[in-house]
Amino acid sequence: MAASLPLSLQLAWLIPFYGFSGMIMAIPWACRWLPRNGQRPAAYLNILVTLLAVLHGSLAMRDVWLSGPHHISIPWFSAADLTLRIGLDLSLTSLAALELVTFMSLVAQVFALGYLDKEWSLARFYGLLGFFEGALAGVVLSSNLFLSYFLLEMLTLSTYLLVGFWYAQPLVVTAARDAFLTKRVGDVLLLMSVVALAAWSGSMEFTDLYSWAAEARQSGTVAPLAGTLVGLGLIAGPMGKCAQFPMHLWLDEAMEGPNPASILRNSVVVTAGALVLMKLMPLLQLAPLANDVLLAVGTISAIAGALVALGQVDLKRAFSYSTTSYLGLVFVAIALQQPGIALLLLLCHGLAKALLFMSVGSVIATTNCQDLTEMSGIGRRMPATLSAYLVAAAGLTGLLPLGCFWCFGQMVSALQTSAPLFAAVFLLTNLLTALNLTRVFRALFLGTPLPKTRRCPEVNWLMALPMVSLTVVVLLMPLLLQRIDPVPGIAAFPLGVAGVVALSGGAGVAIGALIPLDQFRSRSIARPFRSLQDLLSHDFYTERVYQLTIVTWVAGLARLTNWLDRRVVNGVVDGIGRLSLQSADNLKLSVSGQLQSYVLTVIVAIVLLLMALSWRGIPGVL
């Protein structure tokens, strides 16, 4: 670590530990060492250290802006010829992602003070949020593949704990288990690739791995099959973290957890997974097939996720599938070598989606309901929530010149000649997302109030303050984009492209405004339309397909191995044991106490042994 670095950069390794320190400080209240009815100090301490992380990250980003990127390497384990280091990449990209993580964590923690004001396990929740934040901050700063994998494992564990926060509810326990096991599939495949790369390259630093991958491709030292398997394993981890097809079901089930955790999960957790994928992209030159897989996975996730969102009547699930859809677009952008646009889309989507889930959380906290068929007409009663929803919807779609409008416009402009099919994927996703947002808006904020929404006052200031603050940030996104990536106006891309993007968003709004809605008969009477509704609401029956294929095969294999273990293995062992017992019972009858019979037995045995050795022709015997 260079002594000439500014102090904020020299101590940048502390930023992930702010979150971990918040977790440690919450332990006395979470473990009931202190009075359980006074857990708010744990929340205040976590908010304080998160605020320090935001300020420290801001200073570090300012210093990097002035002096350029830096790299910090701290050795922490050495044995024989193996040396493991904690590597931190202090670049504008990583520090901007870090600021997004810490700022969103701060906003979610303040929001949680109002959302969970009657929660008895408030300290445990904030401790888990600190653990969550520390792992996320480490992932975005890490310049080491081993450290990135280790921190991704911590994210998997923290997801399990946060989803299962209300562990007394059976459905929550099932959701936490499914989320954990689904992400473990991607993590195990990623671990296989990490081990293979460690053995081949001898280094886990991304820069060293990039050089090794380029040399290996030129020299052909890695077999094509091995390179393909390693490449597929590398993208499996980010696919699980970003809830991409076919490992996307966990994000839907994770909505059983508290809404403040859902805010982070749908905004920054998926962003961290995509950032890891971007760091791994230079390694995928060993496996050209992996890039095609990324395109296929991203396209399917983008379109199918947007379609499935249209069939949901659960308020949180209607937007969790939208997260899968937008991260599919990020995968397509990365695979098409458009990392800059992918980063902008991650930033704009993360902020707008967090604001959207804040407005959703406000509705749930006020009505104690998240079923769209039971809510209506709350627009006049909750003006701040209504404003937040409208701004978030505008920021997510390419209708008004807010964040995602510029992302869609730049992507369509870049792909309109080289890959028009994928440009159409972006436009179709924009249309379907606008349709879904309009559908939910009509069902939730317009119409006649229903019994559960007749008395729904605006949320308390602890929830309203972060929601209104984030609303302002989303509105100012064009100015922020202009600072980090010059966007001088429509001239950033052709006027025709801007018109096409706005037209796709407007078409989605128009269709969403015209389709009939009936809260009391959410399923259509017409059989074809009802079948389509069921197909979308059940996620194209993906879970059922898994049950009939993978789950059935694994269960059958488990039954077979159980039968082999009980009947064959245990049968052989038990047979040998019974034979030994029977032999012992027979031998005990020969114990007569007569010495001459024992001597005769020994002599007969020696004679038989000598005869056997003589028959085998061993020299010196007889």
Q: What is the mean pLDDT of each run of 10 residues along the chain (622 residues)?
A: 70 87 87 74 90 91 85 76 76 87 91 86 88 89 87 87 85 85 86 87 83 82 84 88 83 82 85 86 84 90 90 86 91 88 88 91 87 84 90 89 87 87 92 92 84 81 89 87 68 83 91 75 63 76 82 88 85 81 71 70 84 67 48
Question: How far is 229 from 290, CA to CA, in rounded Å?
Answer: 9
Judged on CB neighbours under 10 Å (0-12, 13-18, 19+), 34 is middle
Q: How far apart are CA 9 and CA 6, in angstroms?
A: 5
DSSP state for residue 282 in the 8-state scheme: G
d(CA 502, CA 401): 9
What pLDDT score was predicted for residue 489?
Answer: 66
pLDDT (0 to 100) of residue 496? 87
Residue-level pLDDT at 222: 79
The per-residue pLDDT for 271 is: 84
Give the angle 162-167-172 at the CA atoms, nearest 5°.
Answer: 75
Question: What was the pLDDT predicted at 224?
Answer: 83
Query: What share of residues in the chain are helix, strand, coil (percent, to 5)?
Result: 75, 5, 20
Sorted by sequence, the CB contacts under 8 Å of residue 158 that are 6+ apart come out as 128, 131, 132, 135
**pLDDT (0 to 100) of residue 85:** 73
pLDDT at 300: 92
The predicted pLDDT at position 201 comes to: 82
- pLDDT for position 110: 92
pLDDT at 430: 92
| Tokens coding 622 | 């007889």
The full DSSP string for 568-609 is: IIHHHHHHHHHHHHHHHHHHGGG----HHHHHHHHHHHHHHH
The pLDDT assigned to 355 comes to: 92
Residue 371, beta-bridge partner list: 314
Number of Cβ within 10 Å of residue 566's Cβ equals 10
